[in-house]
Amino acid sequence: PFFTSSALLHYLKKKLVYDHKKLIHSLKVGVALVLVSLLYLIDPLYEQVGENAMWAIMTVVVLFEYSAGATLGKGLNRGIGTVLGGGLGCLAAILAQKLNWVGSSIVIGATIFIFGAAATYSRLIPEFKKKYDYGAMIFILTFNLVAVSGLQGEKVLLLARERFATIVIGFAICVFTSLLVLPVWSSDELHSSIATKFEILASSIEGCSEEYFKPVDGKSNEVTRSLDGYLSVLNSKAKDEILGNFARWEPWHGRFGFYHPWEKYLHIGQLLRELAATNLSLKGCVCSPRQPSTITLRCSIKEPCEAAASLLACSLRELGDSIMQMKKCDQGELILAKLKATCFKLNTSVSVTQLCATENNTDGLAMATFVFLLMEMVD
Amino acid sequence: PFFTSSALLHYLKKKLVYDHKKLIHSLKVGVALVLVSLLYLIDPLYEQVGENAMWAIMTVVVLFEYSAGATLGKGLNRGIGTVLGGGLGCLAAILAQKLNWVGSSIVIGATIFIFGAAATYSRLIPEFKKKYDYGAMIFILTFNLVAVSGLQGEKVLLLARERFATIVIGFAICVFTSLLVLPVWSSDELHSSIATKFEILASSIEGCSEEYFKPVDGKSNEVTRSLDGYLSVLNSKAKDEILGNFARWEPWHGRFGFYHPWEKYLHIGQLLRELAATNLSLKGCVCSPRQPSTITLRCSIKEPCEAAASLLACSLRELGDSIMQMKKCDQGELILAKLKATCFKLNTSVSVTQLCATENNTDGLAMATFVFLLMEMVD
């Protein structure tokens, strides 16, 4: 039993270091759930809100997301959707109450159909969906519930107000635990994920060049390392867009202002993905069976290529650092000049080439120069 | 007024042709909402279900997704989550009812915290999240609601049973309108999206080769066409994965069996993305200012390159067709042999090259051969 418990402890410790953000998030959700359950557990509170406390619990469960931006965005969506849907639903219910039974049923049925179909259609428009998908869903739900409840002769306005109040309580608990206690910011994640991509690509380019000019034995190790790197960059579009979307909802905090240019991050991400695609070709080239197998032929172009690769990696790292620390890259002009010079040297020294790797390298260099120019504009 | 109404009609007609799937989906949601609202509107039904009809409406609004697979997946998740959460919640409530007030409050609070945190943590594990994210959320919600309701001395079991019954009603309405009336299958979409990617890449490769061997004027038109194509392929990973995920939930229908190999679709998608990345390099190469500006130099390699590009495009189309029609590509061996021959010819005829386009083309060809070999395994 001692062995297993110590192994368990060790495992938990490892987990704790590795996944501590996830663990903290889980514990925060637990705390928020207990807090909102107090509405039921403490009798005086329960007498105030009654069965509507259910809506507060629902709000907490549904709204509490991993990052602060996601929680806020969902919460605001839910608020807007509830107010709009509730308002229109009340209007429809009041209108219907003035008619006889058949008339009111038809009116309610028709408005539910029209608003439901229209809101669903708007959810399928990509630009709208990106930001307000959840709000539209809540709109449909609230409108429908309020409209039909009104038909059953309840005090619609009172009911709507009480539910809204409990939703606000749930939202407040969410914001409190999500934003004030150890928050996880999407903006931080986007910022550092973009900055680390530079590092990944840099080491991947270095790996390729090392691989190419190395003796033939012990090949497999290096290759897999670089392969993993650029593939993760290549496939990062969806994740970046989600983070960028959440980051827009996040208020001023830390080093980020209200109007931080998140679109530029996404733009840089796109350029890095194109660089990663070029890197994939370079990699395919290095591993191609069509390459000359003799080392001597490869070595004839070793020097300028290695210089180019290391300079490229170096400038990528420099750029990544300057983005990470959010300061203007002061050696910008210098690096740009160096890159151009190396590019020229590479071009002249391997002008009559038989190896595609070098050509591809030039290509990668050209890409990098392009990326670099854009980076200059951003910083 | 005549003009505006005719313009509106024209607009609607255009929309109808272009977006008819989206429109149909919206109308289906409207119908489902009206159907579920009948629980409120028809008095005998309302007397049966009472306020719990709310849960049926909620189920329809939340579950009804664009494709059948998504609706089914969410519905099954919701079912599993509700049963598990409700069962455990009942147990906790019954256990707590035997204790005094303070004891039961502590028990309920502690179980809510533990289950809430554990379920939230499991939602952060990528493999679990992919399939059961929604189910875990519903589990937390149901557990929490049932556990606290029990504390307020209501008849927990009865309440849980009634709510579950209305959720089943809502789910049945969803399945009826989503699957039986003009269903949209994710599997169809995944299938055709993979097949069209072949076509997109084929025309993009043709575009590049045309572009390269064309007189200098009238350049911009062709370039943008091919650029759009491979970029959409390059960034399709997330969309494919979502579709593949939904497709797994869909039952046997049309040409697809129960155990259709959806992972292979995703694998082919990955290979096509790598081909698209090579295409991006080729494109960068064609547009590079470092290319020789004289037509004569380009024309010296025109013939083998054009032959290679058109053969490549042709075999991609062939493969796309064979996937679209789900039959084994009978000319597989033939195409493979042809590709190899062209590859060899290209290699010998441009052995001392100064143009990187050709080299890249070879590279693309090598990639295609690779893709082709894998395709052979799949079909």
**Tens-digit pLDDT profile for residues B261-295:** 777 777 777 777 777 777 776 666 666 555 555 55
What integer best gives the mean pLDDT of chain A? 72
CA distance B356 to A357: 10
What integer best gives the mean pLDDT of chain B? 72
Between A339 and B115, the more confident residue is B115
- Nearest by CB: A30 against B25, B113, B273: B113
To the nearest whole Å, the CA of B327 is away from the closest chain A CA by 30
Residue A377, pLDDT score: 43
Q: Of B59, B54, B19, B23, which Cα lies nearest the Cα of B40?
A: B54
B247: pLDDT confidence band, cut at 50, 70 and 90?
Answer: confident
Residue A26: its chain B contacts at CB < 8 A? 117-118, 120-121, 124
Instruction: Decide: A227 and A296 in contact? Cβ < 8 Å.
Output: no
- For residues A41-58, give the mean pLDDT: 78
B148 touches A at CB < 8 Å: yes
Residue A1, pLDDT score: 44
Residue A354, pLDDT score: 40
Task: Say whether B144 and A367 touch across the interface (CB within 8 A).
Answer: no
- Asked whether residue A353 carries a pLDDT value surpassing 50, the answer given is no
- For residues B286-311, give the mean pLDDT: 62
Task: Say whether A360 and B280 touch across the interface (CB within 8 A).
Answer: no
Range among A173-177, A182-186, A342-346, B151-155 rated most confident:
A173-177
Residue A351, pLDDT score: 43
Please report, as a single letter, which amino acid is at residue A255: R
Between A131 and B291, the more confident residue is A131
Between A347 and B157, the more confident residue is B157
Q: Of A299, A308, A373, which Cα lies nearest the Cα of A342?
A: A308
- For residues A69-81, give the mean pLDDT: 86
For chain A, percent of residues with pLDDT exceeding 90: 0
B76 touches A at CB < 8 Å: no
Interface of B with A in 352-371 (CB under 8 A): 352-354, 356, 359-360, 362-363, 366-367
CA distance A331 to A319: 10
- For residues B111-123, give the mean pLDDT: 88
To the nearest whole Å, the CA of A38 is away from the closest chain B CA by 8
Between A164 and B113, the more confident residue is B113
A257: pLDDT confidence band, cut at 50, 70 and 90?
Answer: low
Chosen from B67, B113, B230 to mutate, greatest number of chain A CBs within 10 A: B113
CA distance B150 to A37: 12
Q: What is the largest CA-CA distance in chain A?
A: 95
To the nearest whole Å, the CA of B107 is away from the closest chain A CA by 11
> What residue in B sits closest to A343 (Cα-Cα)?
B290
The pLDDT tens digits of the residues spanning B312-350 come to 777 777 777 777 776 665 555 666 666 666 666 655 554
- Asked whether residue A239 carries a pLDDT value surpassing 70, the answer given is yes
- For residues B357-370, give the mean pLDDT: 47
B11 touches A at CB < 8 Å: no
- Nearest by CB: B23 against A121, A141, A366: A121
Residue B333, pLDDT score: 62
To the nearest whole Å, the CA of B261 is away from the closest chain A CA by 22
- Asked whether residue A233 carries a pLDDT value surpassing 80, the answer given is no
Residue A17, pLDDT score: 63
- Asked whether residue A48 carries a pLDDT value surpassing 70, the answer given is yes
Residue A363, pLDDT score: 47
> What residue in A sits closest to B39 (Cα-Cα)?
A148
Residue B123, pLDDT score: 86
- Asked whether residue A352 carries a pLDDT value surpassing 50, the answer given is no
For chain B, percent of residues with pLDDT exceeding 70: 64
Query: Of the ranges B227-236, B240-249, B296-305, which one carries the lowest mean pLDDT score?
Result: B296-305
Residue A152: its chain B contacts at CB < 8 A? 40, 46
Residue B363, pLDDT score: 47
ipTM (interface predicted TM): 0.75
How is residue A258 written in tokens?
A: 């209200």
- Asked whether residue B52 carries a pLDDT value surpassing 80, the answer given is no
A237 touches B at CB < 8 Å: yes
Residue B267, pLDDT score: 76
B109 touches A at CB < 8 Å: yes
For chain B, percent of residues with pLDDT exceeding 90: 0
CA distance A11 to A22: 15
3-state secondary structure of A301: coil
The pLDDT tens digits of the residues spanning B226-242 come to 556 667 777 777 778 77
Residue A357, pLDDT score: 44
A100 touches B at CB < 8 Å: no
Distances, alpha carbon A157 to alpha carbons A80, A93, A164, A237, B189, in Å: 17, 10, 10, 45, 44
Residue B373, pLDDT score: 45
Instruction: Decide: A120 and B30 in contact? Cβ < 8 Å.
Output: yes
The pLDDT tens digits of the residues spanning B184-197 come to 777 777 777 877 77
- Asked whether residue A232 carries a pLDDT value surpassing 80, the answer given is no
Per-state percent for chain B, helix, strand, coil, to nearest 5? 85, 0, 15
Count chain A–chain B contacts defined by CB atoms under 8 A: 209
B284 touches A at CB < 8 Å: yes
Residue A143, pLDDT score: 87
| pTM for the model | 0.77
Query: Of the ranges A230-234, B37-41, B63-67, B152-156, which one carries the lowest mean pLDDT score?
Result: B152-156
Distances, alpha carbon B255 to alpha carbons B259, B263, B327, in Å: 12, 17, 11
A26 touches B at CB < 8 Å: yes
Q: Of A147, A337, A88, A305, which Cα lies nearest the Cα of A213?
A: A305
